[in-house]
Structure 1
Amino acid sequence: MQDTTNADTRLALDLALTVRHDGHGGVADDLSDPAGLTAWVRERADALPGCSDFAADETTLGAVRDLRAAVRALFARAVRPGEPSPADAARLLPVPEALTRLNTAAARTPTVPVLHWRDDAEPVVHRQPSPRGTDLTAELAQAAIAFLSGADRRRLRACHAPRCVRYFLKDHPRQEWCKPSCGNRARVARHHERHRKQGEGA
């Protein structure tokens, strides 16, 4: 099936999904160090213009991780009344703090004044993003804002298969899990739980 997810939605989801199940019952963080952030950004150079030779430092890593915490808190709000990802349940930022963090990051885009002067009007100055540089955190924050304010937000769900900590977009009415392997794990877990209860009742 062709992926029709727009670039902002994909970028916002990809940022959230840098927190993932590690395959051993724990949670892994793809952005645990500057090298991890560097690799993650370079893999998305098409969606992040000007970042093909990006190299992260500790300051940028901290800013992106702070932004990710805000995005995941707002994802948890977006999936209500459903439960948030288990990775977030015990450590969610308060929504007002998450909103402030997201909006502050989005405002970091450097702008320049641009003069417009039509023949039949007075000169007017508008501000537009500077072509000389981009702020990674601002771009990610703006992508998250575009996603959270758009129609795709209503399709967002947290996957509650055993050990999964992912958010996903629901593609069809009966979809409960982020991927088939999670559905299989959930069905096996339910099967074992039913047999355990039957054994207790015998």
Structure 2
Amino acid sequence: MQDSISRDARLALDLALTVRHDGQGGVADDLTDPAGLTAWVQAHPGTVAPGFAAGDAELAAVRELRAAVRALFARAVRPGAPSPADAARLMPVPDAVDLLNTAAARTPTVPVLHWAEDADPVVEHRVPDGEEDLTGVLARAAIAFLTGPDRERLRACHGPRCVRYFLKEHPRQEWCKPACGNRARVARHHERHRRPADSLGQ
């Protein structure tokens, strides 16, 4: 599955997925403290220079950026419903766009030409070593994802208790993973069998 997703899409999606179902009926947040952000960055090599250790300022900036990304994901899945994790408290879209653009501008990039023997020349916009700003890198990944072809496949999973966004891999896919589909089918089954019993009790 990951092979069919661009690096930018994977990074933007993984940032959004740091808000997840906690397995107990609530929502968990992987970015509640600097150690959580440091661990997340370490799990995404190449995001910033090795040895990155998050502080309170980086944590606050990334959490704010994540709120903007999730607000724009909610817009991207319209007319479908957004993730239930933050549907009632989404950042206004203009604010999310401004925040993303401001964060993206923090990281300088330089154009690097690539021209293979049997291919057309292409340019890669690379961040000079040691000059990465984490929110800038994440914002650029989110912008690339939201303006690229992967955005058309973005969906919010509405399996029972799920709060994830996912990229649809085939036309009939409704859930982020089979377990959510199973829970949805079980819930529908219980609902169908509960209704006759309810009507008998009236």
Instruction: Report the TM-score, using the length of structure 1 for normalisation.
Output: 0.88
- SS of 2:20 mapped into structure 1: strand
- SS of 1:90 mapped into structure 2: helix
- Of residues 139, 146, 149, the one that matches 2:147 is 149
Q: Which amino acid aligns with 1:158?
A: A
CA separation of 1:196 and 1:16: change in aligned 2, threshold 3 A: same
Cα distance in structure 2, aligned partners of 1:92 and 1:15: 16
User: Do structure 1's residue 20 and structure 2's residue 29 form an aligned pair?
Assistant: no
User: Do structure 1's residue 66 and structure 2's residue 71 form an aligned pair?
Assistant: no
Match of 1:34 in 2: 34
Per-residue CA deviation, residues 114-157 of structure 1 (Å, 9 max, x unaligned), is xxxxxxxxxxxxxx844331100000000000000001001000
Match of 1:172 in 2: 170
Per-residue CA deviation, residues 147-179 of structure 1 (Å, 9 max, x unaligned), is 000010010000001100000000001000000
Cα distance in structure 1, aligned partners of 2:38 and 2:27: 20
Q: Which amino acid aligns with 2:12?
A: A
Equivalences for 1:129-148 in 2 at 5 Å?
129-148=127-146
Structure 1: 4+ residue segments shifted above 4 A: none
Cα distance in structure 1, aligned partners of 2:31 and 2:2: 28
Cα distance in structure 2, aligned partners of 1:88 and 1:136: 23
User: Do structure 1's residue 198 and structure 2's residue 189 form an aligned pair?
Assistant: no
Per-residue CA deviation, residues 34-66 of structure 1 (Å, 9 max, x unaligned), is 0000000011114x142x211000000000000
Which structure 1 residue ranges, 5 or more long, are not aligned?
Answer: 113-127
Per-residue CA deviation, residues 10-55 of structure 1 (Å, 9 max, x unaligned), is 0000000000000000000000000000000011114x142x2110
| Alignment coverage as a number of residue pairs | 186
Which structure 2 residue ranges, 5 or more long, are not aligned?
Answer: 111-125
Cα distance in structure 2, aligned partners of 1:131 and 1:176: 41
- Of residues 38, 49, 54, the one that matches 1:56 is 54
Match of 2:44 in 1: 44
CA separation of 1:111 and 1:149: change in aligned 2, threshold 3 A: closer
Match of 2:119 in 1: none
Cα distance in structure 2, aligned partners of 1:102 and 1:44: 20
Q: Which amino acid aligns with 1:102?
A: L
Q: How big is the alpha-carbon RMSD for the aligned residues of Structure 1 and Structure 2?
A: 1.7
For the 8 Å contact 2:71–2:92, the answer to whether it is kept is yes
Q: Which amino acid aligns with 2:59?
A: L
Decide which structure has the larger Cα Rg and report it.
1
